[in-house]
Every structure is written in C-alpha cells, then in structure tokens.
A and B are shown apart, each in its own frame.
Chain A
Amino acid sequence: MAQPIYRVDNRLVHGQIISTWLPHHRLQRFLVASDTVPANTLQMTMFKMCVPPPAEFDALPVHEAAAWLNDKRYGKARTMVLLESVQDAARLFAAGHPFPALNIGNVHHAPGRSPITPAVYLGPEELSLLSDLARRGMRIEVRSLPDEPPLDLAARLTR
C-alpha cells in the first residue's frame, strides 16, 4: 500500500497537480487539509470539478484530516495530501499525524520571505517550522514538478 504524498502548495489543486503529478504517480485521491477550504462551497465546487474522474477530491479541517489519515481511510488509493502553507503542514504533524516526507511545491512571495527556488519563497517563520520538522526526521524536498530534480531542504536546514 502506497504512502500518501504530502505537498505544500499555496494554490492547492492547479495545473501542475492535474497535468503532471496525477499522471506521474497515477494518483486516485486528493485530500486538502485546511480549516478554511471545507467551509468554502465555491472553492469546493471548483476543486471537485477540476479533478478528473475516477480520481476523487475531498477536504477536511486539519485535525480531522490527521485522524482520517491515521485511520488509513484512504485504503489502497494512491493519495496526495495538499496543504496550503508550511504552517498547515506543521499543524498536521502536531495534530498527531507524524508523516515522514514533505514536498514543497509552491509557496508564493510575501513580505519577509526570500526565494529558495523561483516558485518557493520562505520566511524565518516557515524556515524555523521546517527545521523543527527536519530535526524530527522528516524528509523535506522542494520541487514543483515530478520530473524536476528535487532540492533537499531538510539536509540544508539541519546542517
């Protein structure tokens, strides 16, 4: 049974996900762990629409997502867990779901953040959260598309 892929992407489901990650890993299920998305009916409609069947889309608040993942409710489906921010990733981890690896796909610019790659900007807060996760043994890579060479962020942070 495949482990879910955990990804931080500020746009959640978008072109890179549907057109590259989905076929590359033959993904069957997407789970967004976010406290705002499940309550936003417009966003939910749009996400459900853009995920091509037979793949499924769901969104849960971070705490419920942790429980759902701990129960392995995804079963045999190859799953991608999408997180809007590094903060949400840290919260999922802290909520009792210590996942082993994290992909950072897109984190866009904000004041105080500096570029790691053209698509990923991280500030002091994100970097301290990530080095904390890295110290607990999480593998952290920065990569937008599956066929790019990944950048090993955990190694860089714990050095």
Chain B
Amino acid sequence: MEPATVAIDLALIAACGGLVGLDRRGAFQAMISQPLVAVPLLGALLGQLEVGLALGATLQLLWMSSMLFGANTPPNETLASMVAGGMVLLYGKHIATPDIAVMTIGILLAVPLGPLGRAIDVRLERLNLALSQRALAAVAESRVEIIDRLPWIALGRVFSIHAALIALGSGVGLIVLAAVHPLLDGAVLVAVATAGMYLVPALGLAVAFSLIRRRRGIALGLLTFVAVAIMLDHGGAG
C-alpha cells in the first residue's frame, strides 16, 4: 500500500463523491447518485468495476426506500453507499481482492452514515434559509441579479460536504478494514460471509418488496422467484 497512490485515489473519490452528492438532490436528479450507478462508477474509476457492481446491487436494494417526499428528509443513501463503496474498492485496489466478508463489513461500517447524512441534510436546509432571506432582501433592494448566484452557494456546500465526508469515510474505513480483517478468526469470517450472502440480500429484498403497492406485484414476485430458482438449479446441474 503506497500512501501516494492512496492519496490520489482519495482525491478521485472526493471528486466523484461531491458530484454524485450534487446529483442526489441539489442538481439534475439524474439518478447517478443511486447506489447501483454511483458505486459501479467509482469502481470503474478505481479499476474495480466488478466489485463496484456487486456492492452497488446490494446497496441499491438496502436503500431503495430512501425517497424525498415534500418537506420530509430521508436518510442519505448516497453518502452511506459511496463510503461503503470507497473503502471496499480501496481495499480491493491496495490490499486484497474483497470477498463477500469484506464487502459485508464495509456495508455495516457505512450504514450509520445514512441517518447521519439525513442530519447533515437538515442542517444544510436550515442554512439555506439565509439564502431565501437574501433573495427577499435582494428584491427589496432592487438587485435581483443576486438571485442568480444563490443556488450556486447552496450547491457549493453540498459538493464540499459530500466530497469531504466520502473521502474521509473511505480513508478511515480502509484503515479499519485493513486492521480488523486479519484479527477475525475463521469462524467469524464464515459467519460474516454467511450474513452477507443470505441476510443482507434478504433485508434488501424485503425493503424493496415493501415498496410495492399492488398485491399482484408481490404475488408475481413469488412466482418469478420460484421459476428462476428452478431454472437456475437445472442450468447449474447441467
């Protein structure tokens, strides 16, 4: 592990993290910030597309219910996913190919950043109150051109916070992963891998299934589950 290349990678993670942080809410909402897109993107940038895809798929399901409705602020799925992605991808590039146990530890370490990110988003919205007041003052002073600048101030804050937290979280996470992984004995690692193979996907599927409004959709899901499982079983045996 060379500190110089890790530092370059962290800068890359910061830039990518800041941009997807902007996309999440402040600008575009093009869904580049969804875990399934953002984490593989980071993976491609760090030369670890496969790892990014596997991790992104699981994170996408886990955070699927995080939606912005009106004045309600949801957990920040982008922050939690990008930090999980950042630390696991760095581990993969600089230490060893991440197996399911490493990915699971990464997800577990980064999950609290979802609720933490929500608290940060709420703070940012409070700060934006000053921008709204400045806009009203600008109108009173007959200087509407000030309003042209206001969104960029808000976007600047969103970019910096996401860039800083995602890079910091990934760096700290890498150190924790590198320190913790060798300490775990075989039985614990098997247990973590088992949780990562069954429990984490099951929880993700449960989150996603509970979003379906129509009972017919859930019934259809059960049918395809059985059909595809049988198909794969036969394909695997042949």
Given contacts A118-B122, A118-B125, contact A19 B70 (CB under 8 A): no
Q: Looking at chain B's contact residues, is the secondary structure mostly helix, strand, loop, or mixed?
A: loop
> Is there contact, CB below 8 Å, between B71 and A144?
yes
CA distance A144 to B71 in the complex (A): 8
Question: Across the two chains, which residue of chain A brings its CB closest to B212?
Answer: A23
Query: Contact string, A139-159, partner B, CB cutoff 8 A, digits 1/0?
Result: 000001100100000000000
B71 contacts across to A, CB distance below 8 A: 106, 108, 118-119, 144
Q: Mark B196-218, 1 if CB is under 8 A from A, else 0.
A: 00000000000000000100000
Point out the residues of chain A lying under 8 angstroms from B122, CB to CB.
Answer: 118
With most chain A CB atoms within 10 A of its CB, the pick from B70, B71, B125 is B70
Please measure, in the bound complex, the distance between the C-alpha atom of A49 and the C-alpha atom of B73, giving whole angstroms. 26
B28 at interface by CB-CB < 8 Å? no
**In the assembly, what is the distance between CA of A19 and CA of B211, in Å?**
9
Contact assessment for A144 and B70 in the assembled complex, using a CB-CB cutoff below 8 Å:
yes
B213 contacts A119, C-beta separation under 8 Å: no
In angstroms, Cα B213 to Cα A118, docked, is 27
In the complex, the answer to whether A119 meets B125 with C-beta atoms within 8 Å is no
Chain A residues, Cβ within 8 Å of B73: 118
- Closest partner residue, chain B, to A119 (CB atom): B71
Contact partners of A148 in chain B: CB under 8 A:
72
Interface set of B (CB-CB < 8 Å, partner A) = 67, 69-73, 122, 125, 213
A sample of 25 cross-chain residue pairs with beta-carbon separation below 8 angstroms, ordered by A number, consists of: A11-B70, A14-B70, A15-B69, A15-B70, A16-B69, A16-B70, A19-B67, A19-B69, A22-B213, A23-B213, A106-B70, A106-B71, A108-B71, A118-B71, A118-B73, A118-B122, A118-B125, A119-B70, A119-B71, A119-B72, A144-B69, A144-B71, A144-B72, A145-B69, A145-B72
Q: A15-B69, A19-B69, A52-B213 are in contact. List 6 more A-B contacts (CB 8 A).
A: A15-B70, A16-B70, A119-B71, A119-B72, A144-B72, A145-B69
Point out residues on A near B: beta carbons under 8 Å.
Answer: 11, 14-16, 19-20, 22-23, 52, 106, 108, 118-119, 144-145, 148
Which 7 residue pairs of A and B lie closest in terms of their CB atoms, listed nearest first? A119-B71, A16-B69, A15-B69, A23-B213, A144-B72, A16-B70, A145-B72
